[in-house]
Amino acid sequence: MKKSQFRKLVKEAIASVLAEKAGIITEKFQSKTASKLYGKLKGTDAKFFQAFAKTYSVDWANAPEEAFGKGPDPKKVNFFFVNKDKKNPFAKSGYSYDLTIRPGLIGVTRGKEKIHVSRDRYDRSTGKTTYSATGEKSKGRNTGSAMGDNLDQLHNYKRFAEVADEVITIDLTKIGDSKDLKASRAAAKAGATALIDAKTVAQQNRSRYETILRDRLANSSPGDQIIKMVDAVTKMYKSTVDKQLAMLKKKKVSSGWNDSATKVQRAYRDILQDFEYYLRAENSAVKGADRDKAAKLKAGDKASWSEEKYYQKEMLKYARGIQSKFKTLKADLNKVDTSKDYIDLR
């Protein structure tokens, strides 16, 4: 193999692994609306297609345009979007973060049941992270937040439909089963194995490079729910700063140590610190995996100390810390009388 071919092979392997790490769908959509919808989803919500394909065997690649529509429909999958800032007419918390609906996805339902997308686990043997989709009434699930912004009291089909500027629907009865697609691919693969040529050898080499890269990368991306919480508390923090500035212009100041703005700012500081420690531990876990290999650590040897596993436990500790602090913040804010947050400047 020429050096140029070798370099190209390595670059392709790196691109392939990084794409899988990010959960990128590389298969093209037949439907333009499906492509548009995929482009509008962010973060964990963008795993919807992967999760639904796994849970319900949906063949998204060949989904026809006629399967997609507009306007809420209780018999279909509904994606509710807002296109500009607007007031949340249902909010009861009194906290400014919940009072304004920001542009983007506010919720997804299958019929009238909210949809959750959850990360199952990272499989080091394949280098892939799998996702599942579940409904709100599913039992025994571990899904975290439902798809969308999860604002106070904005939490069901009727309310989503009332405030949404745009609704994209999917009629699952018009989409094929991905099991058929997998079967046809398996047959094609069986026929292709009879052709042993340079391309086959190159593919085998690529698989070895991908295995090495996956082992090095390991499960190094931060937990999806952790990032959601960090994003949420950051938005809260920015909102409190904006409100404080607005109130100062009206010659009003914070009422004391336990007003909502102070609680958010303390939580923001503590959560960001834990998130920094989480990322440091994550980086150390990746490097630790290399050092474990260098020390010829045997898989399944419980007597051997693993640097990688040590830092993975540290990651879990900080992740739980973030979850606990965010949960406490939400509970504390519900107890605060926001009408007393500010007093006249004396």
What is the model's pTM?
0.47
Q: What is the mean predicted confidence (pLDDT) over 133-140?
A: 60
Residue 290 placed within a domain = yes
pLDDT bin (cut points 50, 70, 90) of residue 282 is confident
Q: Residue 270 above 70 pLDDT? A: yes
Give the Cα separation of 326 and 229 in Å (integer). 7
Residue 252: strand pairing partners: 344
Residue, of 79 and 244, whose pLDDT is higher: 79
What pLDDT is attached to residue 127? 62
pLDDT bin (cut points 50, 70, 90) of residue 169 is very high
Q: What is the mean predicted confidence (pLDDT) over 213-225?
A: 50
Residue 231 placed within a domain = yes
What pLDDT is attached to residue 5? 59
User: Are the beta carbons of 1 and 203 closer than 8 angstroms?
Assistant: no
Give the tens place of pLDDT for each residue, 287-312.
Answer: 888 887 877 655 555 556 788 888 88
Residue 181 placed within a domain = no
pLDDT bin (cut points 50, 70, 90) of residue 213 is very low
Residue 179 placed within a domain = no
What pLDDT is attached to residue 26? 42
Give the Cα separation of 164 and 79 in Å (integer). 9
Q: What is the mean predicted confidence (pLDDT) over 172-197?
A: 53
Residue 297 placed within a domain = yes
pLDDT bin (cut points 50, 70, 90) of residue 319 is confident
User: Residue 330 is part of which domain span?
Assistant: 218-346
Q: How many domains, the chain?
A: 1
Give the Cα separation of 207 and 201 in Å (integer). 10
Give the tens place of pLDDT for each residue, 60-88.
Answer: 777 889 989 999 999 999 999 999 999 88
User: Are the beta carbons of 35 and 66 closer than 8 angstroms?
Assistant: no
What pLDDT is attached to residue 3? 55
What is the share, in percent, of the chain residues with pLDDT greater than 70?
69
Residue 299 placed within a domain = yes
Give the tens place of pLDDT for each residue, 29-38.
Answer: 778 888 888 8
Q: 70 φ, ψ to 5°?
A: -130, 150
Residue 278 placed within a domain = yes
How many residues make up the chain in this entry? 346
Residue 339 placed within a domain = yes
